Structure formats: C-alpha cells, structure tokens
Structure 1
C-alpha cells in the first residue's frame, strides 16, 4: 500500500483510490471502518458471561478449594485432639480461635500443624496462640470428668 501527498491510496492489485484533503471524509470513513471492525470482532469473541454464570464459577472454585484443604484441616483437628484431649468439634474451635487471634487463615494454620509432625515445631507465636486457645477452651467447656 502506498500513499502520496494527494491522499491517493493504492493497494496491491487495486486501482488507486483518491480521497480529498477534507478531514471530515477521513473521519467518516474511519468511523465506518471502526464500526465494521468492531461488529466483526464481536462475532468472533464469545459473549461475556452472565452474572449467574460468574456466580456459579465462583462457587465451583470455592468448592474445589474446600475439597483441596479439607484433608489438611482434618489432620490438624486430629493433632489438636491429641494435644488437647478434646472432641472433634472442640478441636475445630481451637483452630478457628488460633486463626482469629493470629490473623492467619485456618488452612495455613492447619498446614503448619501438619508440617510440624515430621518437621520443626510451629513458631513461637503459633504455639502461644494454641496454648491460649486451649486455655480459653478449658474455661468455656464443662467436661464430664471434671463436673461435680
């Protein structure tokens, strides 16, 4: 494609097309080409997902995340039950309590506890938070063996 100063445009295998020096003709032509290109592009692109579809995708991602983290949280519950001599539900409350007081996600706390079985013990702040959570659990729970 070549252009000269008279705004004559030639493309391969085409006759020269002359456009006047009028800026309005360029603007109208450019706008028409833009809209044609936009319409062609819209036919090629898939439509944007509807809000309901986005919500379903978000829910599916959350379910997959839950399925991936559930085994680690279950192992961490077993560790807490062994350490604190508490029930399954109480162990989960301890994990939630530690998460709340340390501002660390529950799954991260669970992973650190599981990793501490074969590796180094949890960090000092996490051990302190666990100890405090066990103390809070003991003060709020009446156990059958200590009830008088």
Structure 2
C-alpha cells in the first residue's frame, strides 16, 4: 500500500463507496435494513465526505497530489470511467429488457442505475490497486 496520503484517501474513499453500495444492494435483495432512500443518503454522504477529505488532503499535500496523479494512475482512472460507462450501458439494456417484459418496474430500474454508476468506477480502481496497477 502506498504511503502517499492522497493515494490512501482515494483508495479508502473508493472502497467505502463500493462497500456501502454492496451493503445497500444486499439489504434490498434480502429485504432487510433501511429503505432505499436511506441507503441513497448514506452512499451520498460517504461520497461527498470522500470528495471533501480528498480535496483537503490534496491541498495540504500538493507534492503528494502530483505524485498521486502520475501517468499510470491517470490511465487507471480513465479506464475506470470507461469501464463504468460500459457497465451502466449493459445494466441499462438489461433493465430495459426487464421493464419491457414487465418483470421490473421502470422507476425501480432507473433507481438502481445510480448505484451501478456510482460504484463501478471506484470498484475498478480498488481492483487495480489490489492488482498493483495503480497506487
């Protein structure tokens, strides 16, 4: 694991978003825990907190911020956004088919696109860090 504080903040923030989203999806599938709107608020709070903490750490450590955005990390960041786009497109097509066949309410399909869009790029980044492709 990197000793760079900006890289650590990015890793822990991304992991927190992924874990919260997986908990929300699991709770929804198992019909336990708070409502979907409560989970949305929890995930949003984590994401906004992550953004604020990341910005503060980057401002306090400008040299570490430059090192955290080297060429390799920038490429992984770009790849995570591309992967997230294609994942949301695939899930959208799946949800569209489920909605058209009456197996899923269109409003629910739209609601569940949010967690996919919010969690897939951070999940890609966390996996890249664990594989040693990013810091």
User: Could you say which structure has the higher helix fraction?
Assistant: 2
Greater Rg by CA: 1
Tell me: higher relative CO, structure 1 or 2? Use CA pairs within 8 A at least 6 residues apart.
2
TM superposition score normalised by structure 2: 0.27
